[in-house]
Amino acid sequence: MSAASLFQARGLVKRFGGLLATDHVDLAVEKGEIHALIGPNGAGKSTLVNLISGLLPLDGGSLSLDGVELTGLAPHQRVRAGLSRCFQVTSVFGHDTVLDNLLLAAQAHAGSSFRFLSRRSAEKELMDTALALAETVDLAGALHRIAGTLPHGAQRKLDVALALAARPRLLLLDEPMAGMGPEDSLQMVALIEKLRAQTAILLIEHDMDAVFQLADRVSVLDYGRVLASGDVDYIKGHPEVQAVYLGTDTET
């Protein structure tokens, strides 16, 4: 962890009754980095993401992004500070069109400079933003589809676009490939690789092919602790990691 890390988590602690779900976790994400977080079921990955995004209160530790202290901030304040997330369960408005979802997200994150624009200019700016987001996630051909009727893979892409509307500097992705077939997974890998140019990413994923393809750094959680952290080759060769995770996770 260098002093210049984009994101730093120090000594994070979360207890659920007697269970130490997050056990003094230190984690850093550098600018431009895709940092993958892996670990067996129940290791504490989602809990960690919920602590970082502010959905769960911390029992200890602190967080900062780009030198801004996030500890104690509400989730929407963290989004404003540059931290955006996708959910394991998709967060799109199913009865609205893809375009309406994107317009809504663009509007929610429009800066205060909008106050000085005419209504016409503001609407054009929102439309441009929405179309650019659709382009980024490869949904420009589906703008007028009702979001809830899209195939699963396309809904996940829309979910990513909604998170991108906040112009994050750190994007949290909790199992973006969950429930996807091979074709959709490949497309999601390509999308995440493309996003590297605009935001750092903390990626939680069970699909090891995807993790090893995308990650600059991998941290392994086990019983709420960071068991190991390093580049892909280091993690692949780490005996304890193989024992607790890779060796037992034969399906991926």
Ligand X SMILES: Nc1ncnc2c1ncn2[C@@H]1O[C@H](COP(=O)(O)OP(=O)(O)OP(=O)(O)O)[C@@H](O)[C@H]1O
| Lookup: tokens for 54 | 């502010």
Phi, psi (rounded to 5 degrees) for 13: -130, 135
Q: Which does 190 bind (CB under 5 to 8 A by kind): Mg ion, ligand X, none?
A: none
The C-alpha atoms of residue 131 and residue 137 are separated, in whole angstroms, by 10
Residue 54 has a CB neighbour count (10 Å cut-off) of 21
User: Whose Cβ is closer to Mg ion: residue 38's or residue 133's?
Assistant: 38
Closer residue to ligand X in complex, CB, 19/190: 19
**Ramachandran angles phi, psi of 152, nearest 5°:** -50, -45
Q: Considering the complex, what minimum distance in angstroms separates the CB of residue 155 from Mg ion?
A: 19
Separation CA 206–CA 171 (nearest Å): 18
Q: How far is the CB of 242 from ligand X (least distance, A)?
A: 18
Of all residues in this chain, which one has the CB nearest to Mg ion in the complex? 46
For residue 129, give the nearest of 109, 146, 147 by alpha carbon.
Answer: 109
How far apart (Å, rounded) are the C-alpha atoms in residues 126 and 130? 6
By the rule CB under 5 A, 22 interacts with Mg ion: no
Q: CB of residue 11 vs Mg ion: minimum separation in angstroms?
A: 22
156 near 191, Cβ under 8 Å? no
Query: Could you tell me the smallest distance in angstroms from the CB atom of residue 48 to ligand X?
Result: 7
Q: How many residues bind Mg ion (CB under 5 A)?
A: 2
Q: Which stretch binds Mg ion (CB under 5 A): 38-46, 149-157, 160-168, 176-184?
A: 38-46
Instruction: Determine which residue in the list 5, 8, 46, 84 makes contact with Mg ion, applying CB under 5 A.
Output: 46
Q: Which two tokens stand for residue 142?
A: 């589906």
CB of 147 or CB of 202, closer to Mg ion = 202
Q: Which residues bind ligand X (CB under 6 A)?
A: 16, 19, 21, 39, 41-47
Question: Which lies closer to ligand X via its Cβ, residue 44 or residue 82?
Answer: 44
- Between 45 and 157, CB nearer to ligand X: 45
C-beta neighbour count of 97 within 10 angstroms: 16
Residues of this chain that bind Mg ion (CB under 5 A)? 45-46
